[in-house]
Each structure stands twice: as C-alpha cells, then as structure tokens.
Amino acid sequence: MLNNLFIEIDQHYDEMVNMRRYLHQYPELSFYEYKTAAFIAEHYQRLEIPYQANVGGNGVVATLTGGKPGKTIALRADFDGLPIQDEKKVEYRSKSQGVMHACGHDGHTTTLLTIAKIFKQYKEVIPGKIVFIHQHAEEVAPGGAKPMIDTGILDEVELVFGTHLWTNTPYGVVQTAPGNFMAAADKFTIKINGTGGHGGIPHQTKDPIVIGSQLIANLQQIISRKLDPLATAVLSIGTFHAGNAYNVIPDSAIIEGTVRTFDLKLQRFIISEMERIIKGTCHSYDVSYHFDYQKGYPPVVNHKEQAAWIIEAAQQVSEVKKAEMVEPSMTGEDFAYYLERKPGAFFFTGAQIEDGFIPHHHPRFDFDERAMKIAAKTLISAVYRANQ
C-alpha cells in the first residue's frame, strides 16, 4: 500500500510544482493570509473533505476519516510569507511587492494539500483519522500555532508530525533529533537615551552610539565568559539604529537582537545578566535606558520514540540518501507548541538547490522542488509507521 501512495506522489509531482509556484507568486504576510487561507479551504471543498476555516485566526483544519482502524494523527504545514522583496530571476517570482515566500512555506502547504488529495483517493485503506493543520503566522510571534491549539484542534489527536523544507541540508537528506531540535527564540530591544549635539563638539554630548557600541561588546561576554563553554546559547545583535546625519551626534540609539536557548533556567540567567550589564553600562555613562525582552516560541523538543519513527519512515523513501539524527539547530519554530501538548516529531527535509546554497529569509531564496516529494512520502510513511 505504501508503495502505491508513493507512486501517486510521483504522478502528482508536476501538479505539486505548479501549485507551489502559484502560491509563491501570491504570498501574504503573517496574520494577513486571507487569500491563501481561502485557496486552502477551496482545495478541501473540492475534495469533499470536511474542514474548518478561520481556526484561531486564518488557520484551516481538515479531517479525513480512513476506512481502516488506526490512530488520529495530525500533520501540520504553515503558509505565511515574509516582508522581503523577491529578487529571483524566475517566472514564478513573487507578484506581491515587498512580500515573498522566503522560507519554503509555499512548499509545506503544497505538500500537505497533495497528501490530502491522495489520501482521499485511497480513503478506504487509510488507517485512522488524519487531521490536516494549515497554520497561519509562523514567522511572527506570538504565532498562529497557540491560538489554533487553544480552539481544541488537538483534543482528539494522538500524534503530531511536521517537516520543514531545509536548504541548509542537501537534497535527499532527512534530519531530526531526539529531544531538543530547535531553540527557544526570543527578541529584545534596548533604547539608550543619550544627549545629542554637534559632531565636532562631542564633549557636550552623551553619545548613544559610543555607549551602544560598548554595550554590544559587553553583552557578547555573557556567552563567552559567563556561561559554561558546554552550555548552548546564542545572543546576537540584529539592528543598531542611531542618527540621520554624518556630523550630528543623535539623542538616542536603538539596539535589537535575539537570544536562543534550550534550557529555561539558562534563559532566565541570560535575561538577568543582560539587565545587570545594560544597567551598569548605561549608569557608567550617566544615561537612562529602556530594556524590553520578549519571550518567543519555546524550544522544539521532539519525543524520542517518534523521532526514531521519522528516521525509519524516511528510510522507506527511495529518494532519501541519508536519514540521520543531528545536533539541534538554533533556529526557532512554533511547532514547539504542538509537541508540548502531544507526542510527535518535527524534521528537516533537505532542499538545497544543486547550483548553490541560498539561505532562508534571503531575497533570492529558493529550494529544490523535488524535496516536496520526499517530504510528502516521509510524512505518509510516518503515518503508517505510527499505526504499526
């Protein structure tokens, strides 16, 4: 049976490419994915699979009851885009100004919709119930997962699986991990309130650029000098905004960054150290400040048994050259909320294009579309493995 389903995926590949490229041309930002949600809902309406729209926001959830006894298993895909101008020179380049699918969510959506279509064709021999979760707003905290879960979509679910098309990983490779897989992803903003003035008379100012530069250097020492070298954490500065003229010292500076951790105790320690260092640095320059720390998604923690099932499932797929357990990634994902509620696992499907590596969230991001077949087959195989 599994082989028949795999053949169906192969036969639907051209359709998958067309669907993915259509979605790629019409991305929508997190929490504003109205047309994409309608596209997904219409797909299930045509298939005559019962579905709910506007779940926890723009989410869509469909449920297929198979003809064989088995578990209730949820499969999840996200469908929001990013505020990035598409710079690819391809015919399916985004037509939405300043918005693009720069993380593969169009491929995730296509994969899940295709699985649903094939499962409907083979409904009588599909085990258990399959819950297709199409989640909005993964890219922007607080995200779409939690409000969707709060509506009760997981109440009857026994297991949950999801994948991310991953261009850091070569095509043909499937990766996961038992336990920690992706990090908690937090955001912070620091505003330094200095005193501006003439660039040629700096002694009459309290220069927030100099203070901010010193503060950034001090904050980096939390990771390098305050943590056990074997501890896993990241503190990165992403933006530093100050001033608008070359010869004017500004009144203020704003610094933004992210902290990534797996351990909540370590997270609390880093926040405490940041507060101490920010206060001390600003006090030494006699300026005030405002520190805002926003906790983002919790870490993605796979359940060990289900992570092992993913490896076994991927090994059933002929296109998979390697299925491996890997070290955790410091990227974040709100799939974490599903795994806090139900057993399951998240995995990477290698999607690196043949002529070079383009990172996620890049204006020229693209992925090897053949990876959608591997993602679909591995998820289908995981459903069957879970029902053994």
Residue 282 counted as an annotated binding residue: no
Annotated catalytic residue: which of 86, 138, 207, 273? 138
Residue 319 counted as an annotated binding residue: no
The CATH number of whichever domain residue 131 belongs to comes to 3.40.630.10
User: How far, CA to CA in Å, does 159 sit from each of 184, 254, 346?
Assistant: 22, 43, 11
Is there a single domain that holds both residue 329 and residue 227?
A: no
Q: Which pLDDT score is estimated for 64?
A: 98
Q: Is 14 a catalytic residue?
A: no
Helix (H, G, I), strand (E, B), or coil: what is residue 329? strand
**pLDDT above 70 covers what percent of the chain?**
100
**Residue 256, number of CB atoms within 10 A of its CB:** 15
Judge whether residue 128 has pLDDT over 90: yes
Judge whether residue 357 has pLDDT over 90: no
Give 153-189 pLDDT, tens digit per residue: 999 999 999 999 999 999 999 999 999 999 999 999 9
**E strand or H helix at 184, and its extent?**
strand 184-193
Is there a single domain that holds both residue 22 and residue 42?
A: yes
CA-CA distance, 237 to 188, in Å (whole number)?
A: 9
Is there a single domain that holds both residue 238 and residue 278?
A: yes
DSSP notation for 124-178 = GG-EEEEEEEEE---SSTT-SHHHHHTTTTTTT--EEEEEEEEEEEETTEEEE-S
* 3-state DSSP of 12-48: CHHHHHHHHHHHHHCCCECCCCHHHHHHHHHHHHHHC
Is there a single domain that holds both residue 304 and residue 291?
A: no
Residues 6+ apart with CB under 8 A from 109: 20, 23, 36, 40, 77, 78, 79, 134
Of 278, 296, 314, at which residue does a domain stop?
A: 296
Is there a single domain that holds both residue 46 and residue 70?
A: yes
Count of structural domains, the chain: 2
Task: Kindly state the tokens that stand for 54.
Answer: 């506007």
**Average pLDDT of 125-140?**
98
Annotated catalytic residue: which of 33, 80, 106, 369? 80
The mean pLDDT value of the chain amounts to 97
User: How far, CA to CA in Å, does 343 sit from each of 5, 63, 89, 178, 364?
Assistant: 25, 19, 42, 12, 36
Is there a single domain that holds both residue 368 and residue 277?
A: no
The CATH number of whichever domain residue 247 belongs to comes to 3.30.70.360
Give 257-277 pLDDT, tens digit per residue: 999 999 999 999 999 999 999
Q: Which pLDDT score is estimated for 263?
A: 95
**Average pLDDT of 90-113?**
98
Is there a single domain that holds both residue 52 and residue 141?
A: yes
**Average pLDDT of 224-242?**
96
Torsion sign (Cα): 338, 118, 58, 92: positive
Of 249, 274, 296, at which residue does a domain stop?
A: 296
Q: Which pLDDT score is estimated for 355?
A: 83
Residues 169 and 177: beta-carbon distance below 8 Å: no
Is there a single domain that holds both residue 19 and residue 33?
A: yes
Is there a single domain that holds both residue 196 and residue 282?
A: yes
Residue 103 counted as an annotated binding residue: yes
Judge whether residue 221 has pLDDT over 90: yes
Judge whether residue 235 has pLDDT over 90: yes
**Average pLDDT of 333-358?**
96
Of 248, 274, 296, at which residue does a domain stop?
A: 296
Q: Which residues pair with 290 in a beta bridge?
A: 191
CA-CA distance, 305 to 218, in Å (whole number)?
A: 42
**Average pLDDT of 86-97?**
98
Q: Is 138 a catalytic residue?
A: yes
Please list the alpha-helical segments (H only) found in the chain. Answer: 2-11, 13-25, 34-47, 105-121, 145-149, 208-221, 264-284, 304-314, 336-341, 371-386
**Average pLDDT of 131-144?**
97
Residue corresponding to tokens 């797909």: 43
pTM: 0.94
Is there a single domain that holds both residue 192 and residue 125?
A: no
Q: Which pLDDT score is estimated for 333?
A: 98
Judge whether residue 356 has pLDDT over 90: no
Is there a single domain that holds both residue 168 and residue 188?
A: no
Phi-psi region of 243 (alpha: psi -120 to 50; beta: other; left: phi over 0): left
Is there a single domain that holds both residue 233 and residue 321?
A: no
CA-based nearest residue to 131, from 77, 70, 72: 72
Helix (H, G, I), strand (E, B), or coil: what is residue 3? helix
Residues 6+ apart with CB under 8 A from 46: none
Domain range enclosing 153: 2-183+299-386
**Residue 142, number of CB atoms within 10 A of its CB:** 14
